[in-house]
C-alpha cells in the first residue's frame, strides 16, 4: 500500500500527519510512504528527515497517486478532485459539518476515515487524536493565559510583601480541562472547576482543583465521553453558580463542547463586565461557536478591561509534539485497518464501524447520517 502525506493548507496550521519516527515504523511494516515537499517544516521536520526515515519526498501530484492520503485537517474539494477514483483518505473530518465534501468523496467512490470519530474505548486509546491534541491544548491554554495575565500564578512571600496566588476558573473537566487544571496547579494557582458531569468531581479533586457542584447535574446525559445538550434550566443554574466566582477570577478557561452542536454560552457579556480589570479569558470552544459571548475566532479581544483569547487551533502552537502524537494516532488506526497489501475491513468491528464515513459511494457512518438527516 502506498501512503501519501499532504502538506496542510489550512491557514495557520503547522502540524503534519506523519512524523519521521512513525514513518520508520510503517516502512518496517512494508508500507511505502511519499511526503509532499516541505510538509513537515511547520513541525520542525525537514525533507531530509523524511528521506532518512525511508520516505520519498515529492510534489503534491506525486502524493495524489497514493492509495491512501493522510492529513490532519479535512481534505478540500480541490484535493478530493485530484485523488484517484476508489482510493482512500484519513483525517480529522467532523464529517457531519461538511456534506459537500462527503458528496465529492462519494462521486469518486473514495473511502474516508475520520480521526475524530475514533470510539472512546480502551483498546482505541492509542488512536484517539482528540484526546492527544486536547491534552496539549489544555496545557497551552494556561500558558497563553499566563502570558496575557499581568500578575503571577503562585503565592510569593518577599521582604516587600506577600503576593496572593492567581485564581483560575475552568469550565469543563474533559481531557483539555483536566490538563489545564494540572498545569495551573503546577504554576501555583488556586483552581476551581465547573462541569455538568458530576462523575468528574473525583478527577478534578485528585489534581488539586475545587469542584463546583451544580444542582441537577446528576440528570445530565453523557454520549461518547461528551455531555449531551443540557436544558436551558440547567444552564441557568450553572450561570448563577459561576456568576459570583467569575468576578474574583484572574483567568477563566472554557472548554465546553457538545458533540455535533454549537457550543453553549457559559460566559455572557454581562459576566465579563463584572470581571476584574486585567483578567483573562481563554475560550477553547471558539471553533464551534465559543463559550464566551464576545470571544472572536482567532482574535485577541480587549473589552471592559478583560482580555479574551479566541485561539482556535491551540495544538498547532505546539506543532512538534502535536504532530508526533497525531502521527502515532493515525498510524495505529491505519495498522488496525490495513496491511501492506491493502485494507481488510470488518465493517461490524467497533473501531472500523466508528471511523468509516464513506464507502462505495455512500455515507455509512451512523452518527453522521443522523446529524445530516436532522439538518435537512
Is 50 an annotated catalytic residue? Answer: no
Dihedral sign for Cα atoms in the order 59, 61, 65, 67: positive
Q: Which helix (H) or strand (E) holds 26?
A: helix 20-28
Residue 120 falls in the annotated catalytic set: yes
Backbone angles phi, psi at 243, to 5 degrees: -55, -45
Name beta bridge partners: 153.
none
Q: Is 123 a catalytic residue?
A: no
Residues forming a β-bridge with 253: 170, 282
Q: 363 phi and psi, to 5 degrees?
A: -80, 115
122 is catalytic: no
DSSP strand pairing (356-359 vs 111-114): antiparallel
Of 14, 96, 128, 312, catalytic:
128
Which residue in 48, 125, 231, 362 is the catalytic one? Answer: 125
Q: How many C-beta atoms lie closer than 10 Å to residue 312's C-beta?
A: 18
- Check 48, 52, 120, 375 and give the catalytic one: 120
Residue 125 known to be catalytic: yes
Pairs from 53-60 (Cβ < 8 Å, separation ≥ 24) = 53/20, 53/21, 53/23, 53/24, 53/27, 54/23, 54/24, 54/27, 55/5, 55/20, 55/23, 55/27, 56/32, 58/34, 60/6, 60/7, 60/36
- Structural element, H or E, at residue 10: none
Check if the beta carbon of residue 107 is closer than 8 Å to that of residue 84: no
> 369: which residues sit within 8 A by CB, 6+ positions away?
363
305 Ramachandran zone, left/alpha/beta (phi>0; psi -120 to 50):
left
Pick from 282, 265, 288: nearest CA to 184? 282
Which residue is catalytic, options 94, 226, 326, 359? 226
| Catalytic residue (one of 25, 131, 133, 203) | 131
Residues labelled as active-site residues: 120, 125, 128, 131, 226
Amino acid at each position: 500500500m502506498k501512503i501519501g502525506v499532504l502538506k496542510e493548507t489550512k491557514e495557520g496550521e503547522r502540524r503534519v500527519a506523519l512524523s519521521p519516527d512513525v514513518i520508520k515504523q510503517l516502512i518496517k511494516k512494508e508500507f511505502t510512504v511519499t511526503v509532499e515537499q516541505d510538509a513537515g517544516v511547520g513541525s520542525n521536520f525537514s525533507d531530509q528527515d523524511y528521506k532518512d526515515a525511508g520516505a520519498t519526498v515529492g510534489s503534491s501530484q506525486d502524493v495524489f497517486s497514493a492509495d491512501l492520503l493522510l492529513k490532519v485537517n479535512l481534505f478540500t474539494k480541490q484535493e478530493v478532485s485530484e485523488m484517484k477514483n476508489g482510493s482512500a483518505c484519513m483525517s480529522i473530518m467532523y464529517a457531519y459539518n461538511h456534506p459537500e465534501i462527503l458528496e465529492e468523496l462519494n462521486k469518486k467512490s473514495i473511502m474516508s476515515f475520520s480521526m475524530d470519530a475514533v470510539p472512546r474505548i480502551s483498546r482505541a486509546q492509542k488512536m484517539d487524536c482528540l484526546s492527544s491534541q486536547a491534552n496539549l491544548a489544555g496545557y497551552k491554554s494556561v500558558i497563553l493565559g499566563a502570558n496575557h495575565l499581568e500578575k503571577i500564578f503562585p503565592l510569593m512571600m518577599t521582604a516587600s510583601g506577600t503576593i496572593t496566588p492567581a485564581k483560575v476558573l475552568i469550565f469543563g473537566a474533559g481531557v483539555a480541562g483536566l490538563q489545564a487544571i494540572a498545569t495551573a496547579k503546577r504554576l501555583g494557582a488556586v483552581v476551581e472547576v465547573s462541569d455538568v458531569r458530576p462523575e468528574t468531581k473525583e478527577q478534578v479533586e485528585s489534581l488539586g482543583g475545587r469542584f463546583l457542584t451544580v444542582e441537577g447535574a446528576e440528570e445530565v446525559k453523557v454520549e461518547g465521553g461528551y455531555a449531551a445538550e443540557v436544558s436551558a434550566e440547567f444552564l441557568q443554574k450553572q450561570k448563577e453558580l459561576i456568576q459570583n466566582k467569575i468576578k474574583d477570577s484572574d483567568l477563566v478557561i472554557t472548554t465546553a463542547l457538545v458533540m455535533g452542536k454549537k457550543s453553549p454560552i457559559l460566559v455572557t457579556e454581562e459576566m465579563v463586565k463584572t470581571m476584574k480589570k486585567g483578567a483573562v479569558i481563554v475560550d477553547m470552544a471558539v471553533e464551534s461557536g465559543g463559550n464566551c459571548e464576545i470571544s472572536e475566532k482567532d482574535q485577541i479581544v480587549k473589552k471592559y478591561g478583560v482580555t479574551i483569547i479566541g485561539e482556535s487551533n491551540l495544538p498547532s502552537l505546539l506543532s512538534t509534539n502535536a504532530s508526533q502524537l497525531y502521527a502515532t494516532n493515525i498510524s495505529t488506526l491505519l495498522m488496525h485497518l490495513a496491511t501492506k497489501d491493502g485494507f481488510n475491513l470488518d465493517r461490524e468491528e467497533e473501531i472500523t464501524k466508528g471511523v468509516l464515513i464513506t464507502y462505495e459511494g455512500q455515507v455509512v457512518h451512523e452518527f453522521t447520517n443522523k446529524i445530516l438527516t436532522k439538518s435537512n
